[in-house]
Amino acid sequence: MINFLTRHPEKIYIPLLEHIELVFMTLLISVAIASVLTLLCMRSERLS
């Protein structure tokens, strides 16, 4: 296993980077949706 790590580090680092990017994008999207929902709730509370 250690031999594999030393021989092919790029095979591990590249998927890891893509995974981090995916998580970051998911977090961004969820934060955006949450803020939009909060704004809509505040608006509906003001109207009623």
21 vs 15: CA distance, rounded Å: 10
Model-wide pTM > 0.85 = no
Chain CA centroid to CA 47, Å? 34
* pLDDT, tens digit (0-9, with 9 covering 90-100), for 1-48: 556 556 666 666 667 778 888 899 999 999 999 999 999 999 998 887
**Which one-letter amino acid corresponds to residue 30?**
S
